[in-house]
Amino acid sequence: MKQREEHPRTTGKKIWLVTGAGRGMGVDIAKAALAAGDAVVATGRDTKAVEKAVGKSSDLLVVKLDVTRLADAEAASRAAVDRFGRIDILVNNAGNFFAGFFEELSPEDIEKQLAANLIGPMNVTRAVLPVMRKQGSGHIITISSSAGLVGFEFCSAYAAAKFGVEGWTESLQPEIAPFGINTTLVNPGFFRTQLISDKSMTFGSLSIPDYEERRKQLQTWWTSQSGQQVGDPAKLAAGLVQIARQSPPPRRWVAGADAVKTAEQKAKDLLAQARAFRELSSSLAHDEPA
């Protein structure tokens, strides 16, 4: 009874915690959840940017969160529970993009990419899971990418992080299912967010002459794509609210016609590769003595 008295506005509402809500897709996700009548803990490294982007609502709490800092994640989780009493849906959305050929990405570039896009979601999930275990329910939505299914030229560090997110999430699901907690991986295609703007995209810090001509071409292409992506992030956010309403929610949502095409081709390629050397692959068992 005490919890109901402390959090009267959250009765019947889902409580979302959204990372990276200062710009891009995170803003649309926070707004869509609020529009659906839910409550949102919108987080970001710059709280003023989050407040400006998401707006004002009695069902909104803005909290500072750098996902690379576990202490920040733990503080955000506590703030969410203090304000709303629970956390029903975590959206691991925050991230950045280090673009470049592998040899031209320094070890520091790769560490920063993995810190934001792989270790970051792990930090926030680690902070939220005790809350969800205690309440016996929860839904962890992690934004992956088509680059979490297929490796692309000039995206080796980004794909490494997203492939890591995929394996981690798929392994996490059976571990937490007994507590009533579900996971969903989201594989967006090309959406008109700020991921490939100069606010989120960084080119490799090294330069090797052998790559120079191709590097210039690809840097020009990537820069030209900002604002030209076919996907509408507001529609993705609205779709995500629908996905979160499913019971049980899907383990994966491939978002965007281009992403569906990529996923279908990956499935065909993987099946063909698995079958290509079936006879050789099936001949590798120990020969047991008669």
Is 289 part of any domain?
A: no
State residue 88's pLDDT score.
98
**Torsion on CA atoms 78, 79, 84, 90, rounded to nearest 10:** -70
Is 157 part of any domain?
A: yes
Supply the mean pLDDT for the chain.
91
Q: Which residue from 218, 229, 283, 241 is spatially nearest to 13, judged by alpha carbons?
A: 241
245, with CB counted inside 10 A (0-12, 13-18, 19+), is: exposed
58 is a catalytic site residue? no
State residue 2's pLDDT score.
38
Mark out the alpha helices in the chain (DSSP H runs): 2-6, 25-35, 47-54, 70-84, 107-114, 120-135, 156-176, 212-225, 233-244, 257-276, 278-281
Is 287 part of any domain?
A: no
Is 240 part of any domain?
A: yes
pLDDT (tens digit per residue) in 114-161: 999 999 999 999 999 999 999 999 999 999 999 999 999 999 999 999
Q: Identify the domain containing residue 196 by its residue range.
A: 2-281
pLDDT (tens digit per residue) in 237-248: 999 999 999 999
State residue 191's pLDDT score.
58
158 is a catalytic site residue? yes
Q: From the candidates 146, 156, 158, 211, which is the catalytic residue?
A: 158
pLDDT (tens digit per residue) in 219-242: 887 777 665 566 688 999 999 999
pLDDT (tens digit per residue) in 46-101: 999 999 999 999 999 999 999 999 999 999 999 999 999 999 999 999 998 899 99
Q: From the candidates 13, 14, 162, 200, which is the catalytic residue?
A: 162
Decide: 125 and 46 in contact? Cβ < 8 Å.
no
Residue 37's CATH number? 3.40.50.720
How far out from the chain centre does Cα 29 lie?
12
pLDDT above 60: residue 9: no
Is 231 part of any domain?
A: yes
Ramachandran area for residue 257 (φ above 0: left; ψ -120 to 50: alpha; else beta): alpha
Is 290 part of any domain?
A: no
Q: Which residue from 86, 67, 42, 73 is spatially nearest to 180, judged by alpha carbons?
A: 86
pLDDT > 90: what percent of the chain?
78
Number of domains in the chain: 1
Q: From the candidates 144, 145, 146, 156, which is the catalytic residue?
A: 144
Tell me how far apart the alpha carbons of residues 289 and 285 are, in angstroms, rounded to a whole number: 12
Decide: 234 and 34 in contact? Cβ < 8 Å.
no
Is 288 part of any domain?
A: no
